[in-house]
Structure 1
């Protein structure tokens, strides 16, 4: 089935897994892979949950939290962090008053392979916030199992990338990001959202087996948590999309990386507020 070709494509785009695709790949195949972005997040979420379970039993919470962050970065090769740093370097370019000239200069900075000081600061802050928030969740999470939060984090961040792709303009006329932006339709967003729901509500019973309290009362708490969390993330994603469109004239592949990283931090903050 042609639609299922999107699974290995999504794995190839978002992780360091050595996935090989046979046969020609069309722009429609590429955009169709966005449906399975949350599924790729689920693979990473399973890795984080399983590793955290093992690490917490052997190390301190501080060490376990740091190693969970490290494993997550290794699983995608720091791909999204690169987009975050490039985006913030470009945002730091001072305006000259000439909108077109400023956009070209910012896009040039974004494409530059070197990382500027603002990009380094954004990376350090993102890493620090993820570590602190994950540590907070592992220690103090009361309503939901910490493993459920770690599972959902990459699932929802991959979903926000699809939200960003839908009905957004491209800052450049070429590149992989432009293929997604030109071909991502409402059906891709709807199906990616359904996959996210299935993964979220499917993971809750598994992670709640060892949690205290009745299952139904836990589900009544989890449902508004997931729905409101997705709504907040969608709002912030469209807000970021608007900023990038005004600043760069549209989105690039680096913009998706920035959306991914920022949405994960926002989700962890939401989870901490619910603890």
Structure 2
């Protein structure tokens, strides 16, 4: 039980900027529990966003509320995954040989492809949030969207090979097994039943994961922390689009 608590604390400390002044041991057991708790952290963040939306809806214009929610969305994670998105976009946009792409990804400076990727991702998220708010749709589905986005990261960490023996992804991957992926997905089963369109969101994650993993392994021959973080950002956007399509077209 102690390892599970430390694992949850590690996941919160790594994936969020929520204040949690607790020194957690870095052991195989706490690492495994941290990975298992990734979707739980997503559920917490999505719940906070949905609560803010419910509290402020009707008191603010939809465009302003959408911007507030997006700002809070970024602030809660400290922009950690957006940084990875920009690094991956710069590396892919360079169209350079593999080793050069890795060097570009490690460069602390942001290039034009990274800026474009950041701009369009945030623009799409803001537009989708605004559209849903304008239509009077409850944003409780954000609980599932953020949880599934982090399940995408867990899937990559468990199943995809690390590109290098050292680094963030390699350190998280140590001692992981398929059981950790199943345990991470377990809390999402009741969520899929409770959130309108939850089953559809779970199904929609599969093609994104397949295409994203294929593209990243083809381009980089393995994963690293930036690629895992980009899976979270890309997965969230994909699921927002999928859920919006389900609501406006299928609903």
Query: Structure 2 length as normaliser, TM-score?
Result: 0.91
C-alpha separation in 1, matches of 2:185 and 2:67: 30
Call closer, same or farther: CA 1:57–1:33 in 2, change over 3 Å: same
Does the 8 Å contact 2:35/2:184 carry over to 1?
Answer: yes
Does the 8 Å contact 2:6/2:25 carry over to 1?
Answer: no
Residue in 2 that maps onto 1:30:
31
Instruction: Report deviation, 1:234.
Output: 2.5
C-alpha separation in 1, matches of 2:18 and 2:57: 26
Matched, 1:166 2:158: yes
Secondary structure in 1 aligned to 2:186? helix
Secondary structure in 2 aligned to 1:59? coil
Q: Once the two structures are superposed, what CA deviation does each residue of 1:28-52 show, in whole Å capped at 9, x if it has no partner? A: 4223311111111111112101111
Residue in 2 that maps onto 1:187:
179
Residue in 2 that maps onto 1:247:
219
Alignment of 1:75-224 (within 5 A): 75-95=76-96, 102-140=97-135, 145-201=137-193, 204=195, 222=196
Instruction: Report deviation, 1:154.
Output: 1.1
Q: Once the two structures are superposed, what CA deviation does each residue of 1:196-237 show, in whole Å capped at 9, x if it has no partner? A: 2234445x4xxxxxxxxxxxxxxxxx4xx3233223212211
Q: Once the two structures are superposed, what CA deviation does each residue of 1:144-168 show, in whole Å capped at 9, x if it has no partner? A: x522222222111111111222221
Instruction: Report deviation, 1:184.
Output: 2.5
C-alpha separation in 2, matches of 1:24 and 1:152: 29
Residue in 2 that maps onto 1:17:
18
Alignment of 1:53-92 (within 5 A): 53-92=54-93
C-alpha separation in 1, matches of 2:24 and 2:83: 30
Does the 8 Å contact 2:6/2:24 carry over to 1?
Answer: no
Call closer, same or farther: CA 1:21–1:139 in 2, change over 3 Å: same
C-alpha separation in 2, matches of 1:93 and 1:86: 11
Does the 8 Å contact 2:9/2:24 carry over to 1?
Answer: no
Does the 8 Å contact 1:164/1:238 carry over to 2?
Answer: no
For structure 2, the 5+ residue unaligned runs are: none
Call closer, same or farther: CA 1:8–1:238 in 2, change over 3 Å: same
Secondary structure in 1 aligned to 2:37? helix
Secondary structure in 2 aligned to 1:183? coil
Q: Once the two structures are superposed, what CA deviation does each residue of 1:84-123 show, in whole Å capped at 9, x if it has no partner? A: 111111111224xxxxxx2211111111111100000000
Matched, 1:42 2:37: no
For structure 1, the 5+ residue unaligned runs are: 96-101, 205-221
Compute the RMSD of aligned alpha carbons: 1.7
Residue in 1 that maps onto 2:241:
269
Question: Whose radius of gyration is greater, 1 or 2?
Answer: 1
* Deviating more after overlay: 157-166 vs 249-258: 157-166
